[in-house]
Structure 1
Amino acid sequence: MLAMNYRGPRRVRVDQKPYPEIKHPEDAIVRVTRSCICGSDLHLYNGNVPDTRVGSTFGHEFVGIIEEVGPAVDKVKVGDHVLVPFNVACGKCVFCQQGLYGNCHESNAQATAVGGIFGYSHTAGGYDGGQAEYVRVPYANFGPTVIPPDMDPDDAVLLTDVFPTGYQAAEMGGIQPGDTVVIFGAGPVGIMAAKSSWLFGAGRVIVIDEVNYRLEFVRDYAQCEVFNFREMDDPVVFIKKLTDWIGADVCIDAVGAEARGNVLQTITGRKTLLQAGSATVLHWAINSVRKGGTVSVVGVYGPTDNLVPIGNVVNKGITIRANQTAVKRHLPKLIDHIQSGRVSPKAIITHRVPLEEIADAYHIFSEKLDNCIKTVLIPPSARV
């Protein structure tokens, strides 16, 4: 089969790789019909995630048709068109029983924190991802969810990560009616966090980024205020001024390890890798939120130390909430939001690219060329 092949930092290509095999009675083999390139894939692509091995296949956002199932699979069947949450989750362990599917203990037992994630390095279990024609899906009695017959596959593929992650970012913020919400990052997750904030009753939504075309997109899509931090002397002071010098009620970090905007953080977190990514946005969020406010973190960081102003967190009485998104938990609500017409996730898709052109697709997305917001990869069999 054709599959993405990681060859080292900023080097990817499509190669022939072995067809996946059923390894466990609850496995399924899925023929991919859509997969995406995620902003967090760029952390892998740029070489910022530990134990990202040459030969890996990325891709944690995909939908497809079940081609084969193990003998113990009875919740889905051959021929079902399914969306597959990016979490590899058993549905049975102590954490899954609490709805913490991003912390599944069975799918990545050697880790102290994150559960298994498709196509996201050996720190997340070493599972091959969906930027391929076929993919092995463990725990097929729990993860794969049949796509409603009236749902566009382009909407469905964005239910595997981007929409749920933006939604959980807003949920973890504990948004109350009338709250002012500041979102750092106008990538796909930040865009969906902005859209979702209104669903929780936000009174004002502000998005901060440095790329004007992304800011224009989120302004039109999520009906929010937008500002370019490159045009500010100090983003924290700017946000305080916008909020009568009190601060935002909720700040959302939708950027993570590769944030720009601070020279020291760029050198220590992105260039020399002395900390687990640039903590620029964490500083801005902690210092911009009001006393007693909430900082919600869905941006991806590495599993080591960061230079975070914890004293300000304590002295301001800030609540910080963070986690990998429990996709399966949100699906019933989000499917309803799509079917009712309240949210159209597929509207953020700007590029549909053949899987064979994946190197160009990564280049366009990583360099923010051609006004790219979200890229969907189409395997050959899905184009017939």
Structure 2
Amino acid sequence: MKALRWHGKHDIRYDTVPDPEIEEPRDAIIKMTSCAICGSDLHLFDGFMPGMKSGDIMGHEFMGEVVEVGRGNAALKVGDRVVVPFTIICGDCDQCKRGNFSVCERSNRNKDAADKVFGHTSAGLFGYSHLTGGYPGGQAEYVRIPFADKTHVKIPEGLSDEEVLFLGDIFPTGWQAAVQCDISPDDTVAIWGAGPVGQMAIRSAVLLGAKQVISIDCVPERLAMARAGGAVTIDFKEASVIERLKDLTNGKGPEKCIDAVGMESHATRSVDAMYDRVKQAIMLETDRPHVLREMIYVCRPAGILSVPGVYGGLIDKIPFGASMNKGLTWRMGQTHVNRWTDDLLRRIQEGEIDPSFVITHTVPLEEGPRMYKTFRDKEDGCIKVVLKP
């Protein structure tokens, strides 16, 4: 079969690889019908995530048709159409029973390495480094799904791939980011980053009843999409984020702040951003936390910081004293996808939201290597790429 494989920083190739096979009784093999390039994939493309090996198959946002099922998997049958969550879950451990699926205790087959790096393992993830299991990803013609009897979202007839594909990652990620904010009708929610996750967080905050949603970015196409979703926008290249947030909140600051950017944050006028780039270049810092610093500074006292943006390692100069003295609550983590998918699938079916609005480019899988660069550099108005086999 064909697949997109990582061969090093900025080196994604369309390669021929062996077809996957059933390895465990709960497995299934999926014939991929649609997959996407996620913003998190760019952290691998740019070489910021540890644990990648040359030849790893990329991708963790995908869906398809079941073509083979392990003998211990009674939940799926050949012909079922499924979206595959990026978090691999056993469904039986203590964390899964509590709905904390992204920290499943059994699905990371490289648990010992994750324990050493993080203190405790997280769940296994598709296509996302050997610290999370080294599982082949979904930017391929066929994918083996471990724990497939639990790691799936079955799709009913009448819905297109484009409507449901993002149930595997960015839609529940944006939703969880907003839910973590405990949004009240009087709240202003400020969201840094108007990429795909930021766009889903905007719609989620609106659906959850926020009084005002503010989107912070600098890309015109992304800001236009954010306004179409109901947000007031701030272009951080054109205005001071701090001053504009004061203006929009009568000097009080937003009650809820969402970091939908993560480790590769950008800023144009900021000394701390230049500091981060220097430290990152000489390997004294792995991530650029400008957004986190700014959120701590602007958030209204007793507010909530929600962090769906991915961080991979060490960050520096976080004003933790300000956070403590302002009484801020932090909520973060990879997404507990299956906690949210029943409700979100219902909302799609009932017409509350059509997540396909975010798609700007649909291309064959073989064009994936080129589209990584297009997406990373925000060329050609690119916000979300869907790949077809």
Same fold? TM cut 0.5: yes
Cα deviation, 1:359-381, whole Å, max 9, x if unaligned, reads 111111111011011100000xx
Alpha-carbon offset, residue 323 of structure 1: 1.1
Quick one: which of 341, 345, 361 aligns to 1:335? 345
Contact 1:37 1:374 in 2 (8 A): yes
2: CA distance between counterparts of 1:365 and 1:354?
A: 15
Give 1:294-309 correspondences, 5 Å limit.
294-309=304-319
What one-letter code is carried by the residue in structure 1 that aligns with 2:335? T
2: CA distance between counterparts of 1:274 and 1:154?
A: 41
* Secondary structure of 2:381's aligned partner: coil
**Residue in 2 that maps onto 1:91:** 91
Cα deviation, 1:232-287, whole Å, max 9, x if unaligned, reads 2x422331232111110100000000001121123324x33422310011011111
Quick one: which of 116, 123, 128 aligns to 2:124? 116
2: CA distance between counterparts of 1:335 and 1:223?
A: 21
Q: Within the alignment, does 1:246 sit opposite 2:252 as a pair?
A: yes
Alpha-carbon offset, residue 173 of structure 1: 1.0
TM-score with structure 2 setting the length: 0.94
Q: Within the alignment, does 1:267 sit opposite 2:278 as a pair?
A: yes
Quick one: which of 230, 239, 251 aligns to 1:223? 230
- Specify every segment of 5 or more residues in structure 2 that has no aligned partner in the other structure, as ranges: 115-119, 268-272
1: CA distance between counterparts of 2:282 and 2:180?
A: 32
2: CA distance between counterparts of 1:15 and 1:217?
A: 34
2: CA distance between counterparts of 1:273 and 1:290?
A: 34
Contact 1:21 1:136 in 2 (8 A): yes
Closer, same or farther: CA 312–113 of 1 in aligned 2, 3 Å: farther
Moved over 6 A (4+): none
Contact 2:287 2:313 in 1 (8 A): no
What one-letter code is carried by the residue in structure 1 that aligns with 2:249? T
Contact 2:26 2:70 in 1 (8 A): yes
Contact 2:30 2:64 in 1 (8 A): yes
What one-letter code is carried by the residue in structure 2 that aligns with 1:199? L
Alpha-carbon offset, residue 113 of structure 1: 4.4
What one-letter code is carried by the residue in structure 2 that aligns with 1:134? Y
**Residue in 2 that maps onto 1:353:** 363
2: CA distance between counterparts of 1:106 and 1:168?
A: 23
Q: Within the alignment, does 1:186 sit opposite 2:194 as a pair?
A: yes
Deviates more, 1:341-350 or 1:272-281: 272-281
Cα deviation, 1:59-102, whole Å, max 9, x if unaligned, reads 10000111111110000111111111010111111111110111
Cα deviation, 1:312-351, whole Å, max 9, x if unaligned, reads 1100000010011111110111011111111110111111
What one-letter code is carried by the residue in structure 1 that aligns with 2:252? I
2: CA distance between counterparts of 1:195 and 1:77?
A: 34
* Secondary structure of 2:221's aligned partner: helix
Q: Within the alignment, does 1:130 sit opposite 2:138 as a pair?
A: yes
2: CA distance between counterparts of 1:267 and 1:124?
A: 28
- Specify every segment of 5 or more residues in structure 1 that has no aligned partner in the other structure, as ranges: 380-384
TM-score with structure 1 setting the length: 0.96
* Secondary structure of 1:77's aligned partner: coil
**Residue in 1 that maps onto 2:270:** none
Q: Within the alignment, does 1:365 sit opposite 2:371 as a pair?
A: no
Cα deviation, 1:272-315, whole Å, max 9, x if unaligned, reads 34223100110111111100000000000113344321111100
Cα deviation, 1:195-240, whole Å, max 9, x if unaligned, reads 00011110000000121121111111x12111111112x4223312
What is the count of residue pairs matched by the alignment? 376
Contact 2:234 2:241 in 1 (8 A): no
**Residue in 2 that maps onto 1:172:** 180
Q: Within the alignment, does 1:374 sit opposite 2:378 as a pair?
A: no
Give 1:63-82 correspondences, 5 Å limit.
63-82=63-82
